[in-house]
Structure 1
Amino acid sequence: MSDGTARDKEARKRVEEALVIPRRANGADDAASVADTAVLDDLHEADRLPLIFAQDIDGSMVAIPQLVEDILTEGGVAEIYGAPTVGKTYFVIECICSVARGVPFLGKRTVQGACVYVACESPASVKGRLLAYKLHHRIKDLPVAVVPQTLDLHDPEADTGRLITATDEAAKVLGKVKLIVIDTLARSMGDGDENSTRDMSAFVHNVTHLSRVTAATVLIVHHSGKDASRGARGSVVLLGGVDTEITATCDEISGIHTLEVLKQRDLSTRGLRLSARFIPVEIGTDCWGKPQTACVLEWVENSADASRPMPRGRTQGIVYAVMKALLQESKNFGKAGAPAGRPCVEVETVVPVIAERLLCRPGQRQYQVRRALTAMTGDGEIYQTTQGWLWIN
Structure 2
Amino acid sequence: MTALAEIIDYEAHQQKRERHKIRQAIRLEAEAIEAWFDAQPDRESDVTFAQYAAKKAEWRSKYGHHFPSLYEIDCAWPHHWISVSEQDAWQFKYSRKEIPLSVIPFPVPATQSAEQALPLTFFDECSTPTPKKWLVKGVVAKGENSSVFGAPGSLKSAMLTDIAVHTAAGKDWRGFKHKERAGVVYFAFERADQVRRRLSAYAKRDGMSGLPMAVTGQIVDMLNPSCVDIIVQTVRAAEARFGMPVGVIVIDTWSKGIAAGGGDEDKARDQNIVAANLRRIHELLDVHIAGVGHSGKDETRGERGSNARQGDVDLQIHITGDAVKTATVIKANDQPEGALTSFAGEVVNLGVDEDGDAVTAFILSMAAVAAPKATSRLSDRQVLALDALKTAIKEHGQAGAVAVDRWRDELFRIGVLDIEAKNPREPFRRLRDALARSQRIAESDGMVRIGMPTLGPSPLIGQLPG
Give the TM-score, by structure 2 length.
0.54
4+ runs deviating over 4 angstroms? 310-317
Structure 1 376/109 Cα, relative in aligned 2: closer, same or farther at 3 Å? closer
Spell out, residue by residue over 1:315-342, the C-alpha distance to the aligned partner (whole angstroms, 9 max, x if none). Answer: 899xxxxxxxxxxxxxxxxxxxxxxxxx
Question: Following the alignment from structure 2 to structure 1, what is the Cα–Cα distance between the partners of residues 367 and 380?
Answer: 28
Instruction: Give the equivalent residue in structure 2 for 1:52.
Output: 122
Structure 1 residue 314: Cα displacement: 7.6
8 Å Cα contact 1:116/1:179 also seen in 2: yes
Spell out, residue by residue over 1:170-203, the C-alpha distance to the aligned partner (whole angstroms, 9 max, x if none). Answer: 0111110000000001211121110111111111
Moved more, 81-90 or 305-314: 305-314
Spell out, residue by residue over 1:148-169, the C-alpha distance to the aligned partner (whole angstroms, 9 max, x if none). Answer: 1211111213x33111101011
For the residue of structure 2 that corresponds to 1:249, the secondary structure is strand
Structure 1 residue 245: Cα displacement: 0.6
User: Superposed, which structure 2 residues align to 1:132-171 within 5 Å?
Assistant: 132-157=201-226, 159-171=227-239
1:279 aligns with 2:346: yes
Structure 1 residue 54: Cα displacement: 4.8
Question: Following the alignment from structure 2 to structure 1, what is the Cα–Cα distance between the partners of residues 125 and 185?
Answer: 40
1:66 aligns with 2:137: no
Question: Following the alignment from structure 2 to structure 1, what is the Cα–Cα distance between the partners of residues 155 and 307?
Answer: 23
8 Å Cα contact 1:77/1:208 also seen in 2: no
1:112 aligns with 2:218: no
For the residue of structure 2 that corresponds to 1:140, the secondary structure is coil
Instruction: Give the equivalent residue in structure 2 for 1:351.
Output: none
Unaligned 5+ residue runs, structure 1?
Answer: 1-42, 318-371, 382-393
Instruction: Give the equivalent residue in structure 1 for 2:149.
Output: 81
User: Superposed, which structure 2 residues align to 1:1-393 within 5 Å?
Assistant: 46-47=116-117, 49-54=119-124, 57-58=127-128, 61-110=129-178, 111-157=180-226, 159-174=227-242, 175-189=244-258, 190=260, 191-250=262-321, 252=322, 255-265=323-333, 267-299=334-366, 301=368, 305-306=370-371, 308-309=373-374
Spell out, residue by residue over 1:258-278, the C-alpha distance to the aligned partner (whole angstroms, 9 max, x if none). Answer: 21111111x322114201121
Question: Following the alignment from structure 1 to structure 2, what is the Cα–Cα distance between the partners of residues 140 and 115?
Answer: 14
Structure 1 residue 298: Cα displacement: 2.8
Instruction: Give the equivalent residue in structure 2 for 1:337.
Output: none
Question: Following the alignment from structure 1 to structure 2, what is the Cα–Cα distance between the partners of residues 249 and 44?
Answer: 49
Structure 1 286/124 Cα, relative in aligned 2: closer, same or farther at 3 Å? same
Structure 1 residue 218: Cα displacement: 0.3
For the residue of structure 1 that corresponds to 2:344, the secondary structure is strand
Question: Following the alignment from structure 1 to structure 2, what is the Cα–Cα distance between the partners of residues 234 and 122?
Answer: 21
Spell out, residue by residue over 1:63-97, the C-alpha distance to the aligned partner (whole angstroms, 9 max, x if none). Answer: 22212211122121111110000101110111110
Question: Following the alignment from structure 1 to structure 2, what is the Cα–Cα distance between the partners of residues 96 and 246?
Answer: 15
Structure 1 residue 312: Cα displacement: 8.8
Structure 1 48/206 Cα, relative in aligned 2: closer, same or farther at 3 Å? closer
Moved more, 204-213 or 173-182: 204-213
Question: Following the alignment from structure 2 to structure 1, what is the Cα–Cα distance between the partners of residues 152 and 380?
Answer: 21
Structure 1 residue 44: Cα displacement: 11
For the residue of structure 2 that corresponds to 1:47, the secondary structure is coil
Question: Following the alignment from structure 1 to structure 2, what is the Cα–Cα distance between the partners of residues 51 and 127?
Answer: 43
Question: Following the alignment from structure 1 to structure 2, what is the Cα–Cα distance between the partners of residues 228 and 211?
Answer: 31
Structure 1 278/193 Cα, relative in aligned 2: closer, same or farther at 3 Å? same
8 Å Cα contact 2:326/2:339 also seen in 1: no
RMSD of equivalent CA atoms: 2.8
8 Å Cα contact 2:339/2:439 also seen in 1: no
8 Å Cα contact 1:247/1:261 also seen in 2: yes
For the residue of structure 1 that corresponds to 2:266, the secondary structure is coil
8 Å Cα contact 2:147/2:313 also seen in 1: yes
* One-letter code aligned to 2:288: T
For the residue of structure 1 that corresponds to 2:256, the secondary structure is helix
8 Å Cα contact 1:76/1:217 also seen in 2: yes
Question: Following the alignment from structure 1 to structure 2, what is the Cα–Cα distance between the partners of residues 221 and 146?
Answer: 15
8 Å Cα contact 1:275/1:299 also seen in 2: no
* One-letter code aligned to 1:57: S
Spell out, residue by residue over 1:235-284, the C-alpha distance to the aligned partner (whole angstroms, 9 max, x if none). Answer: 0110011111111122x2xx21221111111x322114201121211012
Unaligned 5+ residue runs, structure 2?
Answer: 1-112, 383-434, 441-450, 452-466
Structure 1 195/283 Cα, relative in aligned 2: closer, same or farther at 3 Å? same
8 Å Cα contact 1:80/1:248 also seen in 2: yes
8 Å Cα contact 1:245/1:263 also seen in 2: yes
Q: Taking every aligned residue pair, what percent have the same amino acid on both sides?
A: 26
Structure 1 309/212 Cα, relative in aligned 2: closer, same or farther at 3 Å? farther
For the residue of structure 2 that corresponds to 1:245, the secondary structure is strand
For the residue of structure 1 that corresponds to 2:338, the secondary structure is coil
Question: Following the alignment from structure 2 to structure 1, what is the Cα–Cα distance between the partners of residues 211 and 380?
Answer: 45
For the residue of structure 1 that corresponds to 2:296, the secondary structure is coil
Question: Following the alignment from structure 1 to structure 2, what is the Cα–Cα distance between the partners of residues 211 and 298?
Answer: 32
8 Å Cα contact 2:249/2:289 also seen in 1: yes
